[in-house]
Structure 1
């Protein structure tokens, strides 16, 4: 069965796989999305504690801040003699008991499917994608092509223009057509993912290459101006943190949490590695605009900067724009003021209003 749902503290309904399946025989990857019961963001200390909790079951835990983690549980299935839904129920019970945190968990045979399953799971529930090809097809076929991991707005528009508006239609399309439309590498990857194939492993300790921050709203927020103000606040915070650590990022990821508990995530690779707040703001605004939210009721916005690297090893394209150089000098001055008098000593007028 494609989508099996469970409640907090109970395994998902339906027959459980035998303990200790071989990698190709069943679901081995769990995607865990964590939420505090009071709706507040987790915060770094609580998130770290939850990662330690997950590490008690398997050493193969890949953090995805601010509230998600991937687990490869192949070894855990054999060691504990439990099925994947039973491990999911154990995680949920321990997170509730120790930290007052509930979880939505996706179970599948690879990280992509597990993420998509977790995105559709209610808080306190489990969605499982069965291991056989028929179950994978049933899970994917009717989903819009934009829901497929790795398909951005531009690629989705291109595919939809040729009638490839669902994952099932992309999977049925000739691979040569996809390569012509998207390019050789992207076309091959999109075709594989439409078939439910993801060769990406779970990488423990990958969180060191990203930083994240979140802005929850006091009530579900409809105003795009307030959304953009929150994004500006996030990019100012993350930019200052990157510069303080002597790092630059290569990509920016925006996650929008809606009132119905669904989440929308988009990622953009930057033209060059940067820690400049203005560049991060431009990327965040572009990601927000691409989502086309219109009058969506937004509960929280989170931003993650990814693929971090030392700033002294990053190449920077010289600019002859005096305004850009002026902005960078002012940014450096603001960083020195914050370092001496505190993070709130100086802020943009838009944020202080």
Structure 2
């Protein structure tokens, strides 16, 4: 590969891992996949529980391949060594690579060529752009800015009047494919996540709620064990529609940073209710705890509620029992049924 052709190659890979039998890799499997990426490049940023970013500029030259060719090598090794398939996005910056990975399916690579950001982004809905949540998307659509192409065509001043100075500037840049972030090797985890996949499309609301509770119990115990709290939760629901399967994601902020499972469960239920998917055929639910911080430095509102205080003491005892006898030693009765 010549030096000139190398400079025109997308060099950021975003990988999403899926076990061949379905579901995300476990903790040991995920660590092994990160180590596998580390054999190609030292610039690997974890995005748990099922993703990673890799800057492969040096690897392109070393292996004498383009981004798609190198992605194929990574995929073959991940499948052979870990039984995991990869959906891979390749682009010139992390934002475009993440968006490309969402367009890819396991076993494929979606490449956004250098200079091809405008064409790739033009027909994407406003909500597909990094940093655009449901509320911002509704605001933009109210002004007719329902696609990334239309956002890119809007004047910077207009976007800033609609969404604010800082958000407007970020929208203006991202809609043009500009991303000033970089892959940060060994970055401290800013979120933890877990997922439940149903064996078949699930219509029952109660089963979906049990899956959510098991997720909040898992993430709460994990954060408490690591001395962390989170500031917000994001719930993703994968459901069947006319086009196959779609994913909805919404996040909300907790009233205070916490790892208390009851607080996490209550918020997760409220987010789940906001989807209004009473008749949807749900295939999977994922939960991500965001804005992680040190529990020792987090402010906690004092309460005189004896029920809440008793629940926290019981939770602490349950954590000690799980640490000694395994994660299934103690669980809510609703999950044991």
Calculate the TM-score normalised by the size of structure 2: 0.89
| Partner residue, 1:7 | none
| Partner residue, 1:65 | 48
| Partner residue, 2:148 | 167
| Partner residue, 1:76 | 59
Decide which of 6, 25, 40 is 2:8's aligned counterpart.
25
* C-alpha displacement of 1:201: 1.0
> Which digits, 9 at most, give the CA deviation of each residue in 1:176-202, with x for residues without a partner?
222222222122112211111111111
Decide which of 237, 240, 250 is 1:256's aligned counterpart.
237
* C-alpha displacement of 1:337: 4.5
Contact 2:161–2:168 (CA under 8 A) maintained in structure 1: yes
What is the CA–CA distance in structure 2 between the aligned matches of 1:263 and 1:155, rounded to whole Å?
18
Match of 1:93, SS state, is helix
Match of 2:327, SS state, is coil
1:279 maps onto 2:263 in alignment: yes
| Partner residue, 1:154 | 135
Decide which of 131, 134, 140 is 2:121's aligned counterpart.
140
> Which digits, 9 at most, give the CA deviation of each residue in 1:92-123, with x for residues without a partner?
11112222221111111111111111111122
* C-alpha displacement of 1:249: 1.8
* C-alpha displacement of 1:164: 1.3
Which runs of no fewer than 5 residues in structure 1 stay unpaired? Answer: 1-17
Contact 2:230–2:291 (CA under 8 A) maintained in structure 1: yes
| Partner residue, 2:83 | 100
Moved more, 303-312 or 228-237: 303-312
* C-alpha displacement of 1:322: 5.4
Decide which of 287, 290, 295 is 1:311's aligned counterpart.
295
What is the CA–CA distance in structure 1 between the aligned matches of 2:272 and 2:3, rounded to whole Å?
43
* C-alpha displacement of 1:209: 3.9
Contact 2:210–2:334 (CA under 8 A) maintained in structure 1: yes
* C-alpha displacement of 1:56: 0.8
Match of 2:86, SS state, is strand
> Which digits, 9 at most, give the CA deviation of each residue in 1:274-331, with x for residues without a partner?
1121332234334434555454433322223233222111122334655544543443
What is the CA–CA distance in structure 2 between the aligned matches of 1:332 and 1:291, rounded to whole Å?
32
> Which digits, 9 at most, give the CA deviation of each residue in 1:150-196, with x for residues without a partner?
11111111111222111111111222222222222122112211111
- Matched length: 334
* C-alpha displacement of 1:82: 1.6
Decide which of 218, 221, 224 is 2:205's aligned counterpart.
224
Which runs of no fewer than 5 residues in structure 2 stay unpaired? Answer: none
What is the CA–CA distance in structure 2 between the aligned matches of 1:292 and 1:143, rounded to whole Å?
24
Contact 1:119–1:262 (CA under 8 A) maintained in structure 2: no
* C-alpha displacement of 1:28: 1.4
Calculate the TM-score normalised by the size of structure 1: 0.85
| Partner residue, 1:12 | none
Contact 2:17–2:24 (CA under 8 A) maintained in structure 1: no
| Partner residue, 2:183 | 202
